[in-house]
Amino acid sequence: MRYIYYRIYQQLKRVKTNDTPAFNALGIFGLLQTLNILSILGLANYFFRISLNRNQVIILGLTLVILLFITNFMYFFRKKDEIYKHYKNETKEERRRGTVYLLLYIILSIAVFFTIGETLI
């Protein structure tokens, strides 16, 4: 997970108009985590027929986002320099492989979320 955060951060640093790449990487990473968790909850809802009303879904969603933001802030954002130092000496091949893994993670997270939302719910 630290490496995925690092790769998102590195890609966002390349955007010249991006003043806060570390915070934006935190937001994108949190969004992807939220999509993955919601996909799992969608599967659980399909198999176990959990019935929640609209207010319960909103409270659950907001709680999930807040908990993920706090956790990611403490674990990734506050330690961004340490993470950067750990991965900054990667080779060109490792960087290329990491970029492919990052793109696969993003594409699969979005695809699974929409597939589950479209077919199961």
- Say whether pLDDT at 87 is over 90: yes
Which residues have CB under 8 Å from 72's CB, separation 6+? 5, 26, 29, 30, 33
Range list of H helices, the chain: 2-13, 21-48, 54-72, 80-87, 92-119
The per-residue pLDDT of the chain, averaged, comes to: 90
Q: What is the pTM of this model?
A: 0.86
pLDDT reported for residue 117: 81
Residues of the chain above pLDDT 70, percent? 98
27-75 per-position pLDDT tens digit: 999 999 999 998 888 888 888 887 778 888 889 889 998 999 999 999 9
**What are the boundaries of each domain within the chain?**
2-119
Residue 49 region by backbone torsions, left for phi larger than 0, else alpha for psi between -120 and 50, else beta = left
